[in-house]
Amino acid sequence: MREALFVKRNTDKWRDIEQNPTNDPDELTDRFVELTDDLSYARTFYPDSKVTRYLNGLAGQMHRGLMQNRRDERSRFLTFWKYELPLLFRQSHRMLALSAGIFLVASILGWVSAAHDNTFVRLILGDQYVNMTLENIKKGDPLGVYGSSDQASMFVQITLNNIYVAFRTFVFGLFASFGTMAMLFYNGVMLGSFQYFFYERGLLLDSVLKIWIHGTLEISAIVIAGCAGLTVGNSLLFPGTYSRLESFKRGIKQGLKIAIGLVPIFITAGFLESFVTRLTLPPLVSGSIILISAAFIGWYFILYPIQLNRRIQP
């Protein structure tokens, strides 16, 4: 981008920062992040320019303001979840739609493949799991696998595995998004064939009311991790007005924050799977947990970012 265009695009924002100072810690932090991003860009492409010196002075002034208004770590933690992550995620909503689309198509293909090939489920889920589940069905406890392990160790194992899967899905975005798409596709096929396995035996509703107690958060988080990975990959493929390296660095930063934001979701999903899914709950209770989980995901990752973004628009 030419320097003149860069200045023209950002002059109003810089003037507002300079002429309308604020003591609000959240607004001050947001302004400082934007300003340092602009300063980093200017240092890269116009190192000896007047605009670079101007931004450096303005950033120093804002930094002193931040130090005067410095909050404790608890406040910073709350600010991340309340403002920073939702606003960041709003920028990735198109990638979320793409991630969800890939996962949904793969799930349908997994279902159809399992319906037309009776060996497909074993290929995807493995003989050991299929044989164990068939044995549990004979015993009248088709989902007995969830009550077969110690709760505490199961919680740790499941949570760590889910976080590993999510970060692997994110990291694979480094391969120009194709690695992330492959991970989404594989997990979608697995889910589709898994659900068909129970449908074929007349246990679809039982499996949904049991598995989706934790699966609503778990599957949603995998799709969101896919969004993070696609954000990284697309920043490399489509750099826009930035250099490819600068766009890639921004994409990694944005995607990593989204992936980190999923950790509490996986911890909650692991807790539900280890301590709640194993219980025999009335359908109304199971359905309520599923609906509450789905409503939270839809609100926090879709509706709230849109509302927050509209609120701060001039």
How far is residue 253's CA from residue 232's CA, in Å, rounded to a whole number? Answer: 8
In this prediction, residue 282 carries a pLDDT of: 93
User: Can you tell me whether residue 269 is helix, strand or coil?
Assistant: helix
Nearest CA among 175, 139, 167 for reference residue 224: 167
In this prediction, residue 212 carries a pLDDT of: 94
The neighbour count for residue 202, using CB atoms within 10 Å, is 8
Contact 231, 92 (CB under 8 A): yes
User: Can you tell me whether residue 306 is helix, strand or coil?
Assistant: helix
- Exposure string for 184-199, b = 16+ CB within 10 A, e = fewer: bbebbbbbbbbbbbbb
In this prediction, residue 100 carries a pLDDT of: 96
Low-confidence residues in the chain, pLDDT < 50: 71-73, 314
How far is residue 289's CA from residue 216's CA, in Å, rounded to a whole number? Answer: 9
How far is residue 151's CA from residue 38's CA, in Å, rounded to a whole number? Answer: 49
How far is residue 124's CA from residue 113's CA, in Å, rounded to a whole number? Answer: 11
Average pLDDT, the chain: 84
Q: Cα Rg for the chain, rounded, in angstroms?
A: 24
Note every long-range contact of 38-45, with CB atoms under 8 Å and residues 24 or more positions apart, other chains counting. 38/10, 38/14, 41/6, 41/242, 41/246, 42/6, 44/243, 44/246, 45/1, 45/3, 45/6, 45/243
In this prediction, residue 158 carries a pLDDT of: 83
In this prediction, residue 26 carries a pLDDT of: 66
Contact 236, 178 (CB under 8 A): no
In this prediction, residue 138 carries a pLDDT of: 84
